[in-house]
Amino acid sequence: VVKVTNFITATADAKNVKVTVKSSNKRVKVKNAVIKKITPGGTATVKIPVRALRTARGKSKITVTAAGNKAYSNIKVIPKKKRR
């Protein structure tokens, strides 16, 4: 979940805010998102789906960029348990 806030001193809505998401682990896939509208002083929340491929292992650093601001999150990839 990513929260993006517009300045309270803004005079207009922030429209079509692009939220760019990257993963340091190539086996962990993430998708970008677009927030349609954020009112001045308001906060918009968007869910970012993260998908780990079957061969994924280790850790991944997720980088989120919106309006020039960056945030990082480290996630641990837990391998899928094998069926017996």
Q: Which of 35, 29, 23 is nearest to 50 (CA)?
A: 29
Q: What is the pLDDT of residues 68-80, one digit of tens each?
A: 999 999 999 987 7
Interacting residues of 27 by C-beta distance below 8 A, sequence separation 6+: 52, 53, 55, 56, 57, 77
The CB-based long-range contact list for 73-77 (8 Å cut-off, 24+ gap) reads: 75/28, 75/50, 77/25, 77/27, 77/28, 77/52
Please, are residues 63 and 48 in contact by the beta-carbon 8 Å criterion?
no
User: pLDDT for 6-64, tens place per residue?
Assistant: 999 989 999 999 999 999 999 999 999 999 999 999 999 999 999 999 888 899 999 99
